[in-house]
Structure 1
């Protein structure tokens, strides 16, 4: 069984904190139990070095409809099939990850993703996508969503 993140759009308020915590979780400036005010300062201070958020808040103009978009770690994973170097691969635990050293930036994974969850990484040639932050225990976005609009489940 693999873990997957599920958005609950009925409670998402579009605060973008999931994006901020995701960037922080993938930065080189991590420290335990960071407070929100410290996080925002770090985010601004190191804006040229920040990773691309691996989750994205989608907003529908003119309405209050918002939801978090991240990799679905698909069972058939079109991104892995489209990858010309094998950089996009499934791990034994079910996660789909991008080996940034192998990625050549052809962006075929971006075109193949039916959910729009794979993006170009900022400041680098590699694709960027959710890796579930499993080394942190629970994903940073799930753990820090103030409205509990994200949940992780084994499916």
Structure 2
């Protein structure tokens, strides 16, 4: 499977609907459960803040995993092999975003895998596809920034009646 890109968040567009959480838990677990979602939307002082794995270049979660259950694949996606996981929670402690979570039922950790199986089929990650406000975007950061700049320039041109 080849995953090119990552999920980027435009915090100013998130309305806190939590459809990303629902889509994630349905995709990965087949049930609607915020506890089993790999993305979480926090509300802080009237701001909605979606939190997801950043797939860090030097991922602290990978570095502290005593069994090697957490690893980076060939595309730089931080993945977890649940068969190797012993549920020690060291990855959750080391992660600056608190992303890896403990599954009480299975006794092992789980986290975002960027929906690698969906991407391999040419689909977007479930959270991105479900976001009605386009607050979640998937792709290469340079392409996303370039597209946002073009869109902003077009909006300015329309408001000035240049376009």
**The TM-score by the shorter chain falls in which range?**
0.7 to 0.9
CA distance in 2, matches of 1:136, 1:59: 28
Q: Counterpart in 2 of 1:107? A: 89
Q: How far apart, in 2, do the equivalents of 1:135 and 1:51 lie? A: 21
Pairing 1:152–2:134 present: no
Q: Out of 37, 43, 62, which is 1:53 matched to? A: 37
2:21 counterpart SS class: helix
**In 2, Cα distance between the equivalents of 1:85 and 1:134?**
23
Distance in 2 of aligned mates of 1:68 and 1:122:
23
1:143 paired residue among 129, 137, 142: 129
- 1:18 is aligned to 20
Matched, 1:84 2:66: yes
Structure 2 equivalent of residue 95 of structure 1: 77
What is the RMSD of the two structures over their aligned residues, measured on CA atoms?
1.9
> Which 5+ residue runs of structure 2 have no aligned equivalent?
142-163
Give CA-to-partner distance per residue, 1:81-135, whole Å, 9 cap, x none: 0000000000011110111111000000000001111111242211111100021
In structure 2, the residue matched to 1:34 is: none
More helix by proportion, 1 or 2?
A: 2
Is the counterpart of residue 124 in structure 1 residue 106 in structure 2? yes
How far apart are 1:51 and its partner, in Å? 7.1
**Within 1, Cα distance between the matches of 2:103 and 2:138?**
24
Counterpart contact for 1:8–1:67, Cα < 8 Å: no
Runs of 4+ in 1 over 3 A off after TM superposition: none
User: Does 2:7 align with 1:5?
Assistant: yes
Mapped partners of 2:4, 2:96: distance in 1: 19
